[in-house]
Structure 1
Amino acid sequence: MMPFWLRQLIPGYQLPKGRWQHLAEPYKGDEVVVLDCETSIFDKKKGELLSIAAVCVKGGEIRLSQALDLVVNSNAITDPDAVRVHYLRREDRHKGVAVSEAIENLLDFVGNRPIVGYYIDYDRAILNRYIRQLYNFELPNRFIDVADLYTLRKRRVHPQMPVGLKFEDIAEDLKVPVIERHTAMGDVISTALMYIKLVHFKR
């Protein structure tokens, strides 16, 4: 992933301003936010946001009492394969919040803390598309991918060993339960447990 300092050199790159300018400040704490999105189709350029979940992790603690779990009110035409994965039907989505409210709540929740996820580049691309439309900037946060952490750990011990990077394979190897797979909150909790284990092993 391109580091933040390098992204700022891209012509036309916009820093957060006004209410959101604190997002670009260096983070000095010891927390991360684990995040996951579900979308209408599996395409980072066209997929529409259907749900967002996020939890704060501090050390080995997942702070579920402070979790963010939002369904977006969307009339997006949904790929039947996607519905079979995340189970978000149109009637379920009609009870959700406006996408602008979901993005606003997410930015308030995340702040300038590092963001963790499984193949987080996809979630990052989806969210940045909406944030650009609403506020004319992109997330400046540091991003951490558990798939990358897992690969580094495996290759350090077995350099020639092929690494399986399926969500379920990583969870099984780390002895982490897969909780309500392909729901945003279920994936977030499992990913948070993976992160805690990987960072512990790294240390």
Structure 2
Amino acid sequence: MFYNFARALARCFMLVFKGMRVEGLENVPKTGPYIVIANHESYLDPVAVGCALPHQVYFMAKKELFAVPLLGFIIKKLGAFPVKRDEVDLTAVKTALRHLKDGKVVGIFPEGTRLKTLGEFHEGAASLALKAAVPVLPVGLINVRGLKRCRVVIGKPIYDLPYSKNDLERGAKYLREKVLELL
């Protein structure tokens, strides 16, 4: 209930102040589970993705955000869960897998940090997609950071991943290309 209330408020904000436009809604799977991957250029990126998609998204968020008193409380109530960056965080992986097993949608920013242009993707999203055996939904976020009208472009879901657990570097590059095509 809190998620739906927060999303309604956020949608108003994104429509009025950012002129948000969503393209490709027909590509969103009707039900979960699936993994959403997107580029990451702004603090508003999770808001934009959450407003654009019809399902609640459980985002992986850097652990440090949960230490900020009010923000940590809010993002936890919205379903976000912490991930330790710069290492393999088995607790975060297990949490993501549990959410996916329960039919939920997990959101990941595979760059691992905010960047002005699309950076290299870490292998975590590619690995999680293989382990969970669920579709991956690529999303391109355009102008969420700036003052211009922002766009959320949703690509076609990827059901058959063309890489293996022995070639996660190739998998990360493949997923990056799918997001890059949307930008």
What TM-score comes out, normalization by structure 1 length?
0.25
Question: Rg larger in 1 or in 2?
Answer: 1
Q: Under a length normalisation based on structure 2, what TM-score does the superposition of the two structures give?
A: 0.27
